[in-house]
Amino acid sequence: MIVSQDSLSLIGNTPLVRLEGPSQESGCEIFAKCEFANPGASVKDRAALFIVRDAEERGLLKPGGTIVEGTAGNTGIGLALVANARGYRTVIVMPETQSREKMDTLRALGAELVLVPAAPYSNPGHFVHTSRRIAEETEGAIWANQFDNIANRKAHIVGTAEEIWTQMDGRVDGFICAAGTGGTVAGVGLGLKAKDEGVTIGLADPYGAALYNYYAHGELKAEGSSVAEGIGQGRITGNLEGAPIDTQFRISDEEGLYWVRRLLAEEGLCLGLSSGINVAGAVALARELGPGKRIATILCDTGFRYLSTLYNREWLESKGLTIFPWLMQKEEA
Ligand code: PMP
């Protein structure tokens, strides 16, 4: 009998799947880490666990303490689950413009929500600054600070990168993914380079983010926009500092959606848009490296989190995006 000794050990050690369509289309072997298989259904469970463990080890978080973070998404979900398992309170600060689903999910998990008006980063009322202030003012609280706290990328150096290396039998030619905090691309990049300097690390950047121009031309400059959630960064976060990016691709929402659609229709994988953008990036990297290479990427979260957006006909229509053919069918009365 094989049993996990506690719920937190269910985080990480996710399966690696060979993606048939992307492999066929690119002439390379494309593999993907199934991060939707984490308990909170996203890659961010890993960062949440490492941030909490690091704060415990440094004596900052004591029994009954509080974890505060400014996030509307997957990190909040990961933190709430880890906090429940370790006996902490979670306070999540989010802009009131976020989707109802996200608020409902965080409330359902037991997180306390603080809603603030949407404001630019330079405004002290911005949700990230508000979360830092609440942490400072709350007895026994830590500020998770996922963007600049490098416990985030450590989760990917010692976890995700090691797992990819082992699961691919040490034969890895390239790795690529998009960046939100940058913890995944920097951590997996550093971890794989430590195994083999020759692994090519790629960044798949959505429109509206500034990193493509930074790595290509040394200038943080954003162009266009994207509806992808959880990715798209405008600055070099603490986690991105020293990230070993060798090559970068700009990926449109439609390119990402193309793979979201195909992976669902042909391989039965229901994913979010950042996963589709990563797979589009893997195909682009495969074309750059040439046929026969072995490339890894990340399937960041489950599509079930986006039923009212990516998988909703009216929403896709309102954004001018291609509608999945099966969403066009009329239901029988
Ligand atoms: N995809 C989704 C759906 C996410 O929530 C995140 C986290 N912000 C990412 C990708 C990017 O991960 P990271 O923060 O490690 O760059």
ipTM of the complex: 0.99
Asked if 67 and 143 sit in the same domain, the reply is yes
Asked if 309 and 190 sit in the same domain, the reply is yes
Ligand 1 cavity residues, CB under 6 Å: 42-44, 73-74, 178-184, 229-231, 272, 274, 300-301
Give the angle subtended at the CA of 115 by the CAs of 60 and 221, to the nearest 5°: 85
Residue 261 lies in a domain: yes
Distance 248 CA to ligand 1 centre (A): 17
Asked if 291 and 190 sit in the same domain, the reply is yes
Closest residue (by CA) to atom 6 of ligand 1?
Answer: 230
Ligand 1 atom nearest to CA at 71: 8
Active-site amino acid positions: 44
Closest residue (by CA) to atom 4 of ligand 1?
Answer: 230
Query: What letter does residue 133 receive in the DSSP assignment?
Result: H
Q: What is the rounded distance in angstroms from the CA atom of residue 246 to the CA atom of residue 326? A: 39
Residue 326 lies in a domain: no
Q: What is the rounded distance in angstroms from the CA atom of residue 50 to the CA atom of residue 98? A: 26
Asked if 200 and 259 sit in the same domain, the reply is yes
At 54-107, the pLDDT tens digits run 999 999 999 999 999 998 789 999 999 999 999 999 999 998 887 788 889 999
Residue 125 lies in a domain: yes
Asked if 90 and 228 sit in the same domain, the reply is no
Asked if 93 and 217 sit in the same domain, the reply is no
What is the identity of the amino acid at 91?
V
Asked if 196 and 254 sit in the same domain, the reply is yes
Asked if 270 and 289 sit in the same domain, the reply is yes
CATH code, 51: 3.40.50.1100
Distance 42 CA to ligand 1 centre (A): 8
pLDDT for position 333: 64
Distance 148 CA to ligand 1 centre (A): 14
Q: Which residues contact 303 (CB under 8 A, 6 or more apart)?
A: 260, 264, 270, 271, 272, 310, 311
Host domain of residue 102: 43-147
At 213-228, the pLDDT tens digits run 999 999 999 999 999 9
3-state secondary structure 264-327: HHHHCCCECHHHHHHHHHHHHHHHHHCCCCEEEEEECEEHHHHCCCCCCHHHHHHCCCCCCHHH
Distance 183 CA to ligand 1 centre (A): 8
Whether 15 shows a pLDDT value over 90: the answer reads yes
* Residue where a domain stops, chosen among 104, 119, 147: 147
pLDDT for position 96: 87
Q: Which residues contact 333 (CB under 8 A, 6 or more apart)?
A: none
Residue at token pair 């960064």: 233
At 239-286, the pLDDT tens digits run 999 999 999 999 999 999 999 999 999 999 999 999 999 999 999 999
Ligand 1 atom nearest to CA at 152: 15
Closest residue (by CA) to atom 3 of ligand 1?
Answer: 230
Query: What letter does residue 160 receive in the DSSP assignment?
Result: I
Residue at token pair 């998404």: 73
With bands split at pLDDT 50, 70 and 90, how would you rate the model's confidence at 207?
very high
Ligand 1 atom nearest to CA at 74: 5
Q: How many domains does the chain have?
A: 2
Residue 2 lies in a domain: no
